[in-house]
Amino acid sequence: MLEVTDLTAGYNGLAVVRGVTVTVGRGEVVALLGPNGAGKTTTLKAVAGLLKPLGGTISVDGAATAGRPAHVLARRGVALVPEDRAIFADLTTRENLRVAASGKAKDREAEVLDLLPELRKCLNRKAGLLSGGEQQMLAVGRALVGRPKLLVVDEMSLGLAPVVVQRLLPVLRDVAARGTGVLVVEQHVHLALEVVDRAYVLTHGRLVMEGTAERLRSDEGLLAASYFGDQRAAERLVASSGGSAESPEAAPLEPRGPLP
């Protein structure tokens, strides 16, 4: 559904993300992980058309999209839930959903409430008065009324308690089960790896690791080392387990400290 190849993106002509290659299949949930400032939001913005890439190619459902503006990409089925959630605080939940549904309100609203039943009790409340978790559900719901081919969610659980995250992340699986590809940035690495199919780790604007969630869960030492951009620690871990730094896949690794 999404193919990003050798993406370079940044601001004022300066690259902060380099050589990033990411794919998301139809019905697949993929996480983009990495520490603060790694370039996760920058990558998502390029995918959603909010930032013109400096290089590389992006395609959605087979059509080249790099450099197309966000409103064009929205029509082509790319929906972004931004970090700040971007809901209308003074409108009710229902009004927020209807604005996004533009005309096809009834069916779409029912679909969204099916996926996010907690929103039913919020329909007539102003979005600004909802809890953080409810607001995030609404933000995801708003993105879903357009029946996107690709759903892109930045910082799914920013400021939310783990118990709320545990409720929200599986919604992405339900969305994917309807054929949508999902790309999510998630700070709760362990919770994300329970839900997603695959993940990429980005540090300092470059991909340092990728794999199935199962593999990343089992290679926690290498994941932790790459996540924190500690290349030497990663190499030590690989060396101490008899592998080579070039082919960490082969190395059985000891778990290290807990990830965030």
Q: Which is nearer to ligand ATP, 37 or 162 (CB)?
A: 37
Closer by beta carbon to ligand ATP, 40 or else 108: 40
Q: Which is nearer to Mg ion, 38 or 66 (CB)?
A: 38
- Sole window of 30-38, 59-67, 90-98, 232-240 interacting with ligand ATP (rule: CB under 6 A): 30-38
DSSP per-residue string spanning 183-221: EEE-S-HHHHHHH-SEEEEEETTEEEEEEEHHHHHHTHH
11 binds, among ligand ATP, Mg ion, none (CB under 5 to 8 A by kind): ligand ATP
37 binds ligand ATP (CB under 6 A): yes
* Token pair 């929200």: residue: 168
- Residue 13 near ligand ATP by CB under 6 A: no
Q: Compute the distance between CA of residue 212 and CA of residue 200 in angstroms, rounded to an integer.
A: 9
For ligand ATP, the binding residue among 18, 24, 31, 41 (CB under 6 A) is 41
- Residue whose tokens read 């990663």: 234
Task: Give the closest residue to 74 by CA, choosing from 3, 145, 19, 134.
Answer: 145
Interface residues with Mg ion (CB under 5 A) are 40-41
> Which of 30, 42, 81, 223: binder of ligand ATP (CB under 6 A)?
42
Report how far apart, in Å, the C-alpha atoms of 159 and of each of 43, 84, 95, 174 are: 21, 11, 24, 23
38 makes contact, choosing from Mg ion, ligand ATP, none, with CB < 5 to 8 Å by partner type, with ligand ATP
CA angle 37–39–43, rounded 5-degree value: 155
User: Is the alpha carbon torsion for 129, 132, 133, 135 positive or negative?
Assistant: positive
Considering CB distances under 5 to 8 angstroms, the limit depending on partner class, which of Mg ion, ligand ATP, none binds residue 47?
A: none
In the block, tokens 């520490």 appear at: 35
CB of 173 to ligand ATP, least distance (A): 23
Closest of 151, 56, 58 to residue 100, by C-alpha: 151
Residue 181 near ligand ATP by CB under 6 A? no
Contact 253, 237 (CB under 8 A): yes
Q: How many residues does the chain have?
A: 260
180 binds, among ligand ATP, Mg ion, none (CB under 5 to 8 A by kind): none
Q: Please report whether residue 11 would count as binding ligand ATP according to CB under 6 A.
A: yes
Contact 109, 93 (CB under 8 A): no
Judged by CB under 6 A, does residue 102 bind ligand ATP?
no
Q: What is the rounded distance in angstroms from the CA atom of residue 215 to the CA atom of residue 124?
A: 44
Of the candidates 22, 29, 40, 151, which one interacts with ligand ATP according to CB under 6 A?
Answer: 40
Single out the segment in contact with ligand ATP by CB under 6 A; choices: 39-47, 73-81, 163-171, 246-254.
39-47
36 touches ligand ATP by CB under 6 A: yes
Contacts (CB under 6 A) with ligand ATP, residues 182-211:
none
Give the interface with ligand ATP as residue ranges (CB under 6 A). 11, 16, 34, 36-42
